[in-house]
Amino acid sequence: MIYNILEPKNDNDFNSYYYFRWFYLRRPLNKKIGTEKDEIENKSIHRMIKNKKGDIIAVARLHFNSDYESQVRYFAVDKNYRRIGLGTYLMLHLEKIAIKKKQKNMVLNARENAVSFYESLGYVVYEKTNLLFGKIQHYKMKKVL
């Protein structure tokens, strides 16, 4: 893989990172800036991938629900960089972090159109959940690490 996974380090990085999350995950749902964040940002592990020009092309967040369970949220890849392995690369990176922290399971809430991507990585649907903002069906998925 010719792309590096980076951790946002400064205000400029985080501002760009959060803007990317809003642009790809909340803007299409007509949600305001600010809806791309929640109350555990400071306790979470943030990762991003940039292209050669320095533009963010993928983001994800990892946090720990317990001593044995991790969760991925706010996972997005720029539409122009999909289907080239970046999503897989980023997910495997997050799984390695979780394994180093001795986590046993990884969970996530997948949008309906992303279920097959996560299934290809070994995740299994175990519950149909809510409609995000009443519009997008989500599924709880899990993988034993």
- The tens digit of pLDDT for each residue in 44-70 reads 999 999 999 999 999 999 999 999 999
The tokens of 41 are what? 């940002």
Give the count of domains, the chain: 1
Name residues of the chain where pLDDT drops below 70. 1, 133
Its sign, for the CA torsion 135, 107, 114, 56, is positive
Element (H, E) at 13: helix 11-21
Q: What is the pTM of this model?
A: 0.93
Tokens encoding 66: 């317990």
CA distance 91 to 81: 15
Dihedral of alpha carbons 19, 81, 107, 141, sign: positive
Q: Which CATH number fits the domain that encloses residue 9? A: 3.40.630.30
Q: Are 89 and 1 in contact (CB under 8 A)?
A: yes
Q: Are 17 and 56 in contact (CB under 8 A)?
A: yes
Domain containing residue 10: 5-144
Angle, CA 17 vertex, CA 39 and CA 12 arms, to 5°: 105
At residue 90, the pLDDT reads 98
pLDDT in the model for residue 2: 80
pLDDT confidence of residue 1: 60
